[in-house]
């Protein structure tokens, strides 16, 4: 059994201990006592140094705690020191979770079903959906309780007693209870701050519906401050592009987006009109050939809607056949007027089939694609010879 020093003093960051057991290469060691918290109950493990060697992972093996090291540990008597910044941050997020979960239950009967403390942010999953207004109310209430600086205490009770817990525990025997004064009692083996003021600001962010639950992302302490700073910087950058005050930025972005859509629609309309005019121009500028048919062949980089509009406009005239050849990707468009004697769909389909291409269409308009340039040349040749 490893004595868990963090159970009774979450603020202990350095300690001395004796090595009780170790792996043959002495990179996995077991101590008689430790302040290193192992990954457990949603809270990540501590890192730090043991006898000057990096502790890279801490694993709870029920009775014993394994310290996974970056190198072999030579000593039998060691000094341990945990990375306090990381640990204190975990204590803030973890205590913040107790507080937030209690507030969500009190205000909206939203019970916490799971908790995850991540490297960037943390989440609680609650059993019911909440409105944005309710989330804001919970965030406000949680921060008020932070300002009240209520004591957070640890006590031990037997599971047979009436424990008055927020969430029933399945633990038998001695139960470690973490309590926030007049708010919350939870069975928990994690590390917590000693008063709610030390949690610092609590900021709720993203909400996600996950399998019938609501996942609430939240940040406490310096994480909340850092995030608010990053949000400010991002919003400032947006506001600067409009030379506008910060608070006007969201409305300006929305207005600009609508304007852009409007402009795109107008642009599309003009491009189509231009293509149609070009089609008419090609038609009048083309001398009728055999059988009075006007034929035009256009080579263009890529087939587009504009080319279709141009083709449609061209074959709106009498006795007209329009062929467009797109280079990249290799593709063909064939259009024919009803009185041209050409069935564009059938003609293109047979030309494509012999070149390994795909496509088809109606009597008036057909389109197809081929695998490569030589297939394209073969299709064009077949079409030109008919």
Chain residues binding Zn ion by CB under 5 A are: 188, 190
d(CA 363, CA 314): 15
In angstroms, give the least distance from the CB of 187 to Zn ion: 9
**Beta strands in 72-128, from DSSP E residues, in sequence order:** 77-82, 112-117, 122-126
State how far the Cα of 115 lies from the Cα of 216, in Å rounded to an integer.
Answer: 10
CA distance 205 to 300: 50
Least distance from Zn ion to the Cβ atom of residue 174, Å: 16
Q: 142 vs 383, which CB is nearer to Zn ion?
A: 142
Q: Least distance (Å) from Zn ion to the CB of residue 6?
A: 12
Whether the CB-CB separation of 310 and 276 falls below 8 Å is answered with yes
Q: How far apart are CA 123 and CA 101, in angstroms?
A: 11
Closer CB to Zn ion, 150 or 294, in the complex? 150
Beta strands per DSSP E along the chain: 3-4, 14-22, 28-31, 33-34, 48-50, 53-61, 64-69, 77-82, 112-117, 122-126, 152-158, 174-180, 184-187, 202-210, 213-220, 294-300, 320-326, 331-336, 358-361, 365-369
Min separation Cβ 46 and Zn ion, Å: 15
Of 41 and 317, which CB lies nearer to Zn ion in the complex structure?
Answer: 41
Nearest to Zn ion by Cβ — which residue? 188
Question: d(Cα 115, Cα 193) in Å, to the nearest integer?
Answer: 18
Distance, CA of 50 to CA of 15 (rounded, Å): 10
Q: Closer to Zn ion at the Cβ: 191 or 313?
A: 191
Between 190 and 326, CB nearer to Zn ion: 190
Residue in 239, 253, 309, 250 with CA at minimum distance from that of residue 281: 309
Rounded to a whole number of angstroms, the minimum distance from the CB of residue 94 to Zn ion is 5
* Alpha-carbon distance values, 72 to 64, 296, 300, 304 (Å): 19, 81, 69, 66
Q: What's the closest the beta carbon of residue 141 comes to Zn ion, in angstroms?
A: 19
- Kindly tell me which of 188 and 315 has the beta carbon lying closer to Zn ion: 188
CB 32 within 8 A of CB 181: no
The nearest distance, CB 65 to Zn ion, in angstroms, is 18
Report the distance separating Cα 86 and Cα 361, nearest Å. 65
Between residues 168 and 290, which has the closer beta carbon with respect to Zn ion? 168
Rounded CA separation 355/353 (Å): 5
In the bound state with Zn ion, the residue whose beta carbon lies nearer, of 65 and 307, is 65
Look up tokens 């979960």; give the residue: 101
Q: Smaller CB distance to Zn ion: residue 190 or 361?
A: 190
Give dist(CA 18, CA 34) in Å, integer.
9
Q: How far is the CB of 199 from Zn ion (least distance, A)?
A: 12
* Residue 34 C-beta: closest distance to Zn ion, Å: 18
Decide if 36 contacts 48 (C-beta within 8 A): yes
């Amino acid at each position: 059994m490893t004595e868990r020093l963090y159970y009774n003093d979450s603020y202990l960051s350095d300690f001395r201990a004796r090595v009780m057991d170790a792996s043959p290469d002495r990179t996995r060691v077991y101590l008689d006592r430790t302040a290193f918290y192992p990954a457990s109950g949603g809270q990540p493990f501590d890192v730090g140094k043991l006898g000057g060697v990096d502790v890279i992972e801490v694993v709870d093996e029920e009775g014993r705690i394994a310290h996974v090291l970056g190198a072999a540990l030579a000593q039998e008597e060691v000094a341990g020191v945990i990375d306090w910044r990381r640990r204190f941050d975990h204590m803030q997020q973890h205590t913040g979770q107790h507080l937030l979960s209690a507030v969500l239950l009190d205000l909206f009967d939203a019970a916490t079903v799971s908790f995850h403390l991540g490297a960037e942010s943390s989440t609680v999953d609650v059993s019911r959906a909440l409105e944005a207004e309710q989330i804001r109310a919970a965030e406000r209430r949680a921060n008020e309780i932070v300002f009240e600086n209520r004591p957070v205490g640890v006590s031990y009770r037997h599971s047979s007693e009436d424990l008055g817990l927020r969430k029933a525990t399945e633990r038998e025997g001695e139960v470690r209870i973490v309590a926030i004064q007049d708010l919350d009692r939870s069975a928990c083996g994690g590390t917590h701050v000693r008063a709610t003021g030390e949690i610092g600001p609590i900021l709720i962010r993203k909400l996600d519906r996950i399998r019938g639950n609501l996942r609430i992302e939240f940040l406490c302490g310096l994480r909340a401050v850092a995030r608010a700073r990053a949000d400010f910087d991002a919003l400032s950058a947006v506001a600067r592009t409009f030379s506008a005050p910060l608070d006007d930025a969201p409305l300006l972005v929305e207005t600009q987006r609508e304007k852009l859509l409007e402009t795109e629609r107008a642009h599309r309309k003009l491009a189509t009109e231009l293509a149609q005019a070009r089609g008419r121009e090609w038609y009048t500028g083309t001398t009728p050939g055999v059988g009075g048919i006007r034929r035009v062949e256009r080579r263009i980089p890529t087939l587009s809607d504009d080319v279709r509009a141009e083709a449609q406009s061209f074959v709106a005239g009498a006795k007209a056949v329009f062929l467009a050849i797109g280079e990249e990707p290799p593709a063909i468009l064939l259009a024919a007027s009803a009185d041209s004697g050409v069935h564009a769909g059938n003609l293109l389909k047979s030309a494509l089939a012999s070149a390994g291409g795909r496509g088809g269409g109606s009597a008036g308009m057909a389109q197809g694609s081929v695998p490569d340039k030589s297939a394209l040349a073969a299709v064009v040749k077949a079409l030109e010879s008919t």
